[in-house]
Chains A and B, each alone.
Chain A
């Protein structure tokens, strides 16, 4: 639809029956999602009103479950949010586009040829079986990503799978899934990648990124990358080594634990110890059920899910840390405080506490045994008879001919 500045937006709002007040309110919620003050709402509205022409966008599905696509369909007050998302002209989007087969592929190649587009990538990058674990139109999924990313202004990796391989990367899956950044590093493609981990992606974050693109950069992708406040998080991919990831600080800067409404109960030591119990009915803290809120850095408690309806902890489940990196290996077993350590085939997955207790127990037993030995050797009490000379000196002397 037309975006010729001010009037276009007003028409859009009118068509969708959205009042200006609702619109500003929504802009306020985007501000929150970005970690900005809600007083930024008018500026956000102005940025949207002045939006330049549509930004051609390719939404590519890698090894995905389509959950992130589903998620984007659950965006807050969809009418307003879709106005924002309409700013993206999604020329290729397998899950919703009308065209199929050849006609769909042509949409893809035409957009790439024209250049100046944005890529949104969902799902993990499938490198297993020499890249043949994902085929689209006879091409490897990895080839399509490389081709599209090389000419793109920027790539947004949505959801944990796109960020670092997600659960598909989970040990010891042989599918050899990896993340977009790791793959582009490997291919030597330097297009900037914005990472939005979590399983699935929170749709508000995508909206927030688009708003940010208009707000700080007037739609220019390069300026957007330069002017947004980023965090760099890094991890080591089993196959591609160390990877640095760019993430928006406003979204991933604070822990869930620090913003959790149940935090008061945590401080008071009021915990849920069994699901469906009266402690749960009282909204006690889920720490003892293995809540990974303290180690997980997303704004889930603020932005919440499904148009702010609820979120994991509010519904009664401990956070499983899906917004962290390599989230399955780093957080399972989900009902324990600490994650398992992968100790190879012989020992399997082991809890750190078990390791600590076993080592501690062995040491205690050894000391008791040693103490008994010391007693038996008659050393207890006065100690052993002392040597007259160091053994080393004695040996050296002996070598020299024992002239002492």
Chain B
């Protein structure tokens, strides 16, 4: 029995420690610890609702847009504002750009290095690499030049951010040619995530921390030129997803099929829903709201179903509260896996731990479609690949058609993210069309001013990495209470009052660890949540 520790977990947003008890090469128990407390709620007190829109998105530099939308939605719910249709579409586009940016960046920059070894790529045969790329249907680059560049990089002796890693770990199983292809796409992905963010900049002024989705609608009024730029960039990003992200995923998966056997986690999947449909019903969002706890059944969920426990967290405020009545009194103690060990609160949905993120959303969407309902308007059917279609296709490619449950695993979590990117890219093009049509049809409304200045409400939405909720209480146009439940809160939740492990902790339990000094498998699982 040994303790394997990763601290810090790198290639994530924030500061995370993962500790596992390993017996006979298998994880028996796990503790996930958030190591940073910044506090946001008190900063918002006695300020105005739009200040919350601008400031609370700064909780996360990777998914600021989702936070900002949840914040504006909470204000709109509190003050009874229904945003205009143009604003709905512009927000969907902004959110979509962020999803695409985030998923591309996650797969290539943050997660790929757990599977792909750029060092191994040095021994690739260039001709074979071209052949492999052709066969996999993935994008061809100037592989020779990239190999040369990598060699120069390695010979220089200063490996920069690639330095110090255990590239000789036997978990790196890809052929060098595939390593080279993925490395080439790693570099292209850096360009493509930036292109996705140019869309954000057009609409929101800048990324991170865009400026325009203010409570009431949007401050962005598009010109023809800007709409063109948006469309053009979405097309470029979509092309990259179709010619690199998806084929790469399918090319790598067969080599790491054992990752379908562990990393599944708690099996409860929560989605608040994201990408508003015309009817503004959260259960009909393009990625719908729902809570799936097993089988093809979905339950309704709402803000009242959330509770937060702090028995194992460094707070001395009351435990088991709903965020609308939330308290945050931080009090550091020592790090002790038997008592308190994290700044993360233990968020529970209907008293159960809940996994959030792409896998949770795809599961909810799958169940929605499996129930015979259609996620997109009928006339889009030919242009949009919906979640169920994408999942079925993937299962077929892996030779496990008709067994979606196999995706409740490490591999499934990785794949779900990339499949979701494909769906969102398709949708984005449709929304641009819809927006252009509306504006040409004479709709010039982008914003609704508030008429009341008192109320309380919540904004429940999805960030690329999972469910995000903001709760606001407004009196006389001033904020009297503010609470945030961030996506990571769900996934890195510690044990609750009853001692039930959080989603990432459960995903770790049962995972094999080949070498406790170099726990690559633990790293992969932690990364799969994009914490």
Contact = CB atoms under 8 A, between A and B. Distances in A.
Interface of A: 1-2, 11-12, 14-15, 17, 54, 56, 61, 63-71, 73-75, 78-79, 82, 86, 88-91, 93-107, 124, 126, 128-130, 132-138, 141, 166-168, 170-175, 177, 199-200, 274-278, 280-281, 305-307, 309-317, 320, 322, 328, 332-335, 340, 348-349
B105 A73 contact: yes
B449 interface: yes
Given A67-B58, A317-B214, 19 more contacts: A1-B153, A14-B145, A71-B208, A86-B160, A95-B10, A97-B10, A97-B164, A134-B35, A135-B36, A137-B7, A167-B43, A173-B42, A199-B58, A200-B208, A200-B209, A281-B221, A309-B202, A312-B205, A334-B54
Contact of B10 (A91, A104, A316): A104
Given A78-B191, A315-B212, A135 B39 contact: no
B165 A133 contact: no
Given A91-B163, A171-B43, A315-B205, A96 B109 contact: yes
B interface bracket (residues with beta carbon within 8 Å of A): 35 or more
Interface in B22-70: 35-40, 42-43, 45-48, 50-51, 54-55, 58-62, 64
Contact of A311 (B206, B331, B335): B206
Contact of A68 (B39, B43, B61): B61
A94 B161 CA distance: 9
A314 B61 contact: no
A169 to B, nearest CB: 9
B160 A306 contact: no
B447 A128 contact: no
A135 B17 CA distance: 9
B207 A172 contact: no
B446 A276 contact: yes
A121 B47 CA distance: 29
A98 B223 CA distance: 42
B205 A332 contact: no
Interface centre among A78, A100, A130 (most CB of B within 10 A): A100
20 contacts: A1-B153, A65-B61, A67-B58, A69-B61, A101-B523, A105-B8, A107-B163, A126-B36, A133-B330, A133-B332, A135-B36, A138-B335, A166-B58, A173-B39, A276-B446, A281-B444, A316-B205, A316-B211, A317-B211, A334-B48
Nearest to B158: A89
B15 A134 contact: yes
Contact of B198 (A133, A175, A309): A309
Contacts of A124: 38
A107 B166 CA distance: 12
A171 B46 CA distance: 10
A70 B61 contact: yes
B12 interface: yes
B11 interface: yes
Contacts, number: 316
B149 interface: yes
A134 B8 CA distance: 12
B14 interface: yes
B220 interface: yes
A136 B212 contact: no
Contact of A96 (B11, B55, B212, B445): B11
Nearest to B160: A89
A334 B191 contact: no
A90 to B, nearest CB: 5
A335 to B, nearest CB: 6
The 10 closest A-B pairs by CB, nearest first: A67-B61, A276-B446, A276-B447, A317-B211, A315-B205, A305-B206, A306-B201, A309-B201, A170-B43, A98-B165
A386 to B, nearest CB: 52
Interface of B: 5-15, 17, 35-40, 42-43, 45-48, 50-51, 54-55, 58-62, 64, 84, 86-87, 105, 109-110, 113, 142, 145-146, 148-149, 152-153, 155-156, 158, 160-167, 190-191, 193-194, 197-198, 200-212, 214, 216-221, 223, 229, 314, 330-332, 335, 343, 444-447, 449, 478, 517-519, 523
Interface centre among A167, A274, A310, A312 (most CB of B within 10 A): A310
A132 B333 CA distance: 9
B22 to A, nearest CB: 14
A103 B166 contact: yes
Contact of A137 (B8, B152, B214): B8
B523 A100 contact: yes
Contacts of B146: 15
Given A98-B162, A174-B42, A320 B10 contact: no
B96 to A, nearest CB: 16
A210 B443 CA distance: 48
A70 B106 CA distance: 12
A175 B206 contact: no
A275 to B, nearest CB: 4
B61 A349 contact: no
Contacts of B330: 128-129, 133, 174-175
Contacts of A277: 447
A94 B160 contact: no
Given A128-B330, A305-B207, A333-B50, A170 B7 contact: no
B38 A276 contact: no
